[in-house]
């Protein structure tokens, strides 16, 4: 298949590029490299974009890879790209993806929302003109739903009101301006699919954990990022980094916040399933493997790290600067992926071991950046 | 009260400015005048901004008016404005408000959404910092809801799903990138109110009809716009213009599309009611007087115009370039305004007479711009 990956230099876009090349697809990888200058601290050192591209070209599938250094928000670029390639599928991973970043200042809130929305609108209009049959696979987030006190369906539900009913978008209650940008995208895509008969899978992505995939092998140029700072790292990444560095693990508040999680390898497998099973029209998929509370994850990391002889690991909750429920109902559905044949490939414990092994050589990097783990951005 | 009106040069902002000055408020009117260069055709000639300001200053309440020529999307300006004034209330009417404009091109879709979202985020962050107790009165649209097959509550409803229930935002199904920008705003405001304890009334505004208010008197500098072109004019405006010019009235499709409508004078009265009854937190108000189908309005305009001896008026439906239901259930609620004491001030027939009288002297302007009434922007 001819596949465009927008955000191909990112945490997900890069390993997905490697996997699709391995399995025989032709891949156009697009990135403006802006994420590299936003200050995230990666435990695993990341090769320059040109070194990454060289490494891919040296592989036997290098001739199926096309690297495009450009910006998804540029109207002219996107038109030309889709006009020339007419891809079968487009993965859109090219967004600014940090809740704390978006809450930090008015400038960052505006940057996050306008960048993400502009990119998505740009893709939709170019698809309409040049490849209306392509499959847009868009990265949203489970965070679009927030934590309602009812089960969470996949995007739509049978709404009952005043004795009548209709099949309507499920209410969204995101908790940050970043998560809101994904909701804005979802609604824009939903309309474009309705008006122009475009085809899109909108992935409500759970939190992804993992530091390597089989395709990376031993080539250090093929590694992906492992951000552990308070702005760009996930809670689980911070916990692993803290355990490795000998710092206490610091859940925010009581740690009762529940979220859906999935490993990097399983996430990549899901993207393949979705790519191989396109849809006519607009489809929402909830993509996660298992629901855990933040405190459960902290305990898991502690157990695994102690088993790996990293010494005694302490869990020391800190005050929660976010506005979020720390005790709540949480029951999202995962119907579509199950129907497509999704099976968990990797257990959390095993993946945590691998993460810790992967970042252990970079213990000094984590220690040097100790300050960056501490949250500074308050939601209020 | 100290009131900031963003978009004070606009169709609604200007008459609201006049009314609030008349009743004794101190008003800061802000506008970047960008709407004036977007190509809308107004039957009623509109004075320059400086002539308008002169006319206000010449009134006995002129010393309570402050004119600010600036842009709501400028971060520095908004901070300074709210820091200096610390207003009691802020009306936000400063948005790009045209569905056809937003559907015309990728550039216009991006312009509409980024302009509207940026302005709103900018206001919210500045309020948080400088006037967290102020009341933001934000102009949304009934179009945010679309036309669901159930009643439409005011923003929220008791959602039932899989045997559980929660009080959740009512699903939105807007039909254009412009209407989507208002949904994006609503969600951004909802979050800001939750995180920062800001106070906002989000008005789901029905379609407004009317060409004059008592405060305009006979001063031509105090008239408001009456757009009748296919991009910036409402269906009712186009129908009145067509009747006056002796053209056939052209509903899109069967004209079975139902919407909520309210007269300009009643809308201004509602803004006063809302201003005088602020809220703690976030409130959604559905603001309309009566639901009509487009064909009912066409018939009304025909009747009134024929009674006013404008000659025989023909209704000649044209093909609908929009994607919208032309036969659908529509039953929005209007609880809050009724509770605040809203009563209709003007009957549709009477207001139509007044509109036709107001624009009759400008028959030649309408005839000269005949081509602009014909819709050119297709939703598909």
B86 domain residue, yes or no: yes
Decide: pTM greater than 0.90. Answer: yes
A378 domain residue, yes or no: no
Q: Does A169 touch chain B (CB under 8 A)?
A: yes
Contacts of A113 (CB under 8 A, 6+ apart): A102, A177, A180, A181, A184, B117, B118, B121, B184, B188
Pairwise CA distance, residues A361 & A244, whole Å: 9
A129 min Cα distance to partner chain B (Å): 11
Q: Collect all residues of chain A within an 8 Å Cβ-Cβ radius of residue B379.
A: 195
Q: Under DSSP, is residue A91 helix (H, G, I), strand (E, B) or coil?
A: strand
Active site residue B350: no
Number of H helices, E strands in chain B: 13, 12
For residue A295, what is the domain's CATH number?
3.40.50.720
B74 domain residue, yes or no: yes
A110, A162, A166 member nearest B118 (Cβ):
A110
B379 domain residue, yes or no: no
Active site residue B224: no
Of the residues B35, B41, B182, B258, which is catalytic?
B182
Q: Does A168 touch chain B (CB under 8 A)?
A: yes
Q: Does B145 touch chain A (CB under 8 A)?
A: no
Q: Token match 């876009």: residue?
A: A13
Q: How many domains does chain B have?
A: 1
Instruction: Answer whether A266's CB lies under 8 Å from A340's CB.
Output: no
Q: How many CA atoms lie within 13 A of B132 on its CB side?
A: 9
The catalytic residue positions of A are: 141, 178, 182
Q: Does B254 touch chain A (CB under 8 A)?
A: no
Contacts of A68 (CB under 8 A, 6+ apart): A28, A29, A30, A31, A81
In this prediction, residue A60 carries a pLDDT of 85
Contacts of B96 (CB under 8 A, 6+ apart): B34, B35, B38, B102, B111, B112, B115, B116, B178, B181
Question: Among residues A92, A234, A184, which one has the least CA distance to residue B121?
Answer: A184
Confidence band for A101, pLDDT divided at 50, 70 and 90: very high
Pairwise CA distance, residues A94 & A115, whole Å: 9
The share of chain A scoring above pLDDT 90, in percent, equals 99
Mean pLDDT of A6-31: 98
How do residues B270-281 score in pLDDT, each as one tens digit?
999 999 999 999
Q: Classify residue B229 by its DSSP letter.
A: S
Instruction: Answer whether B91's CB lies under 8 Å from B3's CB.
Output: yes
A225 domain residue, yes or no: yes
Q: Kindly report the number of other CB atoms within 10 A of residue B230's CB atom.
A: 21
How do residues B221-236 score in pLDDT, each as one tens digit?
999 999 999 999 999 9
Q: Does A329 touch chain B (CB under 8 A)?
A: yes
Cα dihedral A317/A319/A325/A328 (nearest 10): 20
Contacts of range B218-221, beta carbons closer than 8 Å, 24 or more positions apart: B219/B55, B220/B45, B220/B47, B221/B47, B221/B51, B221/B52, B221/B54, B221/B55
Q: Does A309 touch chain B (CB under 8 A)?
A: no
Domain of residue B49 covers 2-373
Q: Collect all residues of chain A within an 8 Å Cβ-Cβ radius of residue B74.
A: none
CB contact under 8 A, A159 and B176: no
Q: Which two tokens stand for residue A238?
A: 């911070």
Q: Which residue of B has its CA nearest to A107?
A: B75
Confidence band for A68, pLDDT divided at 50, 70 and 90: very high
How do residues B16-55 score in pLDDT, each as one tens digit?
999 999 999 999 999 999 999 999 999 999 999 999 999 9
B378 domain residue, yes or no: no
* Residue A1 in this model has a pLDDT that exceeds 90: yes
Q: Collect all residues of chain A within an 8 Å Cβ-Cβ radius of residue B169.
A: 171-173
> A124, A128, A168, A380: best mutation site toward chain B, by most B Cβ within 10 Å?
A168
Q: Which two tokens stand for residue B22?
A: 């008349």
Q: Does A196 touch chain B (CB under 8 A)?
A: yes
* Residue A251 in this model has a pLDDT that exceeds 90: yes
B42 domain residue, yes or no: yes
A193 domain residue, yes or no: yes
In this prediction, residue A111 carries a pLDDT of 98
Q: A65-69 and A26-31 as β-strands: parallel, antiparallel, unpaired?
A: parallel
* Residue B60 in this model has a pLDDT that exceeds 90: no
């Amino acid at each position: 298949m001819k596949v465009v990956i927008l955000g191909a230099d990112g945490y997900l876009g890069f390993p997905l590029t490697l996997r699709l090349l391995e399995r025989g697809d032709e891949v156009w990888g697009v990135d403006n490299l802006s994420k590299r200058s936003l200050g995230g601290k990666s435990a695993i050192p990341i090769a320059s974009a040109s070194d990454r591209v060289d490494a891919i070209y040296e592989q036997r599938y290098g001739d199926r890879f096309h690297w495009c250094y450009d910006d998804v928000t540029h109207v002219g670029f996107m038109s030309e790209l889709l006009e020339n390639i007419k891809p079968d599928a487009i993965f859109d991973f090219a967004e600014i993806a940090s809740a704390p970043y978006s809450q930090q200042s008015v400038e960052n809130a505006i940057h996050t929302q306008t960048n993400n929305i502009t990119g998505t609108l740009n893709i939709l209009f170019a698809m309409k003109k040049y490849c209306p049959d392509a499959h847009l696979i868009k990265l949203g987030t489970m965070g679009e739903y927030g934590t309602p006190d009812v089960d969470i369906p996949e995007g739509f539900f049978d709404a009952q009101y005043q004795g009548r009913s209709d099949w309507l978008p499920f209410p969204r209650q995101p908790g940050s301006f970043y998560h809101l940008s994904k909701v804005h995208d979802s609604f824009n895509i939903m309309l474009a699919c309705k008006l122009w008969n475009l085809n899109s899978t909108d992935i409500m992505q759970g939190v992804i954990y993992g530091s390597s995939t089989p395709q990376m092998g031993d080539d250090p140029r093929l590694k992906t990022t492992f951000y552990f700072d308070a702005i760009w790292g996930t809670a689980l990444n911070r916990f692993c980094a803290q355990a490795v560095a000998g710092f206490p693990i610091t859940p925010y508040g009581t740690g009762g916040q529940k979220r859906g999680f999935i490993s990097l390898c399983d996430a990549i497998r899901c993207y393949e399933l979705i790519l191989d099973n396109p849809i006519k029209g607009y489809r929402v998929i909830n993509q996660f493997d298992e629901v855990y509370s933040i405190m459960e994850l902290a305990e898991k990391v502690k157990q695994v790290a102690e088993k790996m002889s990293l010494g005694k690991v302490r869990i020391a909750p800190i005050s929660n600067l976010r506005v979020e429920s720390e005790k709540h109902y949480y029951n999202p559905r995962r119907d579509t992926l199950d129907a497509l044949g999704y099976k968990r490939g990797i257990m959390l414990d095993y993946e945590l071991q691998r993460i810790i092994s992967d970042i252990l050589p970079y213990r000094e990097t984590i220690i040097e950046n100790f300050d960056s783990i501490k949250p500074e951005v308050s939601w209020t």
